[in-house]
């Protein structure tokens, strides 16, 4: 295992759209609650320099990959934070796309607004063209494409409630 220092933004970069993060079944279930989310949101709002996310340890088996190959990392440590940040990005995306009053904000050019939405979506989802009627494990159908979450929890029992709470706070 070769450790690397990286920012959260680089983990979810659009250029790294072939990278996926899987939470293995041996990891504890997602357990963050209202206290943890509130604290994280408060820390992000209060920090001018950014929020220190701590270590996120990911492992993969292959040393190199071919250009079309998917790189799937198992998240060994930091899954609570990585899932929470993904839920926060989903909430921001939803607010920008569906809940802005009226049209896009006047201060933002329409092309910039669309680019920002697409950038957030690509940080969250990997889209593949439909090549068969069967949906692969972990995928879902959306607008004629098969989509995968780039951060894939092994169990998602309360993630909808988590998402709705974070959506209400943003």
pLDDT at 68: 61
3 part of a folded domain: no
Contact criterion met (CB below 8 Å) for 122 and 17: yes
Question: 57 in helix, strand or coil?
Answer: strand
Show the CA angle centred on residue 163, arms to residues 51 and 6, nearest 5°.
30
Please determine, for residue 103, whether its predicted confidence score (pLDDT) is greater than 80: no
130 part of a folded domain: no
Instruction: Kindly report the pTM of this predicted structure.
Output: 0.69
pLDDT tens-digit series, residues 133-165: 777 666 777 777 777 777 776 655 555 566 556
Report how many domains make up the chain.
Answer: 1
Q: Which domain holds residue 15?
A: 8-121+151-169
- The percent of residues above 70 in pLDDT, for the chain, comes to 66
H helix count then E strand count, the chain: 5, 7
155 part of a folded domain: yes
97 part of a folded domain: yes
131 part of a folded domain: no
Residue 123's nearest CA partner among 31, 35, 13, 40 is: 13
29 part of a folded domain: yes
128 part of a folded domain: no
């Amino acid at each position: 295992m070769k450790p690397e220092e990286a920012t959260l933004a680089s983990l979810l970069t659009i250029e790294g759209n072939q990278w996926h993060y899987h939470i293995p079944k041996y990891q504890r279930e997602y357990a963050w609650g209202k206290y943890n989310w509130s604290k994280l949101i408060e820390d992000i709002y209060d920090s001018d320099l950014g929020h220190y996310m701590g270590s996120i340890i990911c492992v993969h088996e292959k040393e190199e990959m071919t250009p079309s190959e998917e790189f799937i990392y198992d998240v060994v440590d930091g899954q609570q934070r990585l899932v929470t940040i993904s839920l926060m990005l989903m909430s921001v995306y939803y607010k920008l796309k569906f809940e802005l009053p009226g049209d896009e904000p006047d201060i933002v050019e329409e092309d910039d607004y669309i680019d920002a939405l697409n950038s957030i979506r690509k940080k969250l989802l990997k889209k593949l063209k439909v090549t068969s009627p069967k949906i692969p494990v972990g995928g879902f159908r959306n607008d004629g494409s098969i989509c995968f979450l780039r951060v894939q929890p092994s169990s998602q029992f309360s993630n909808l409630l988590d998402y709705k709470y974070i959506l209400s706070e943003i």
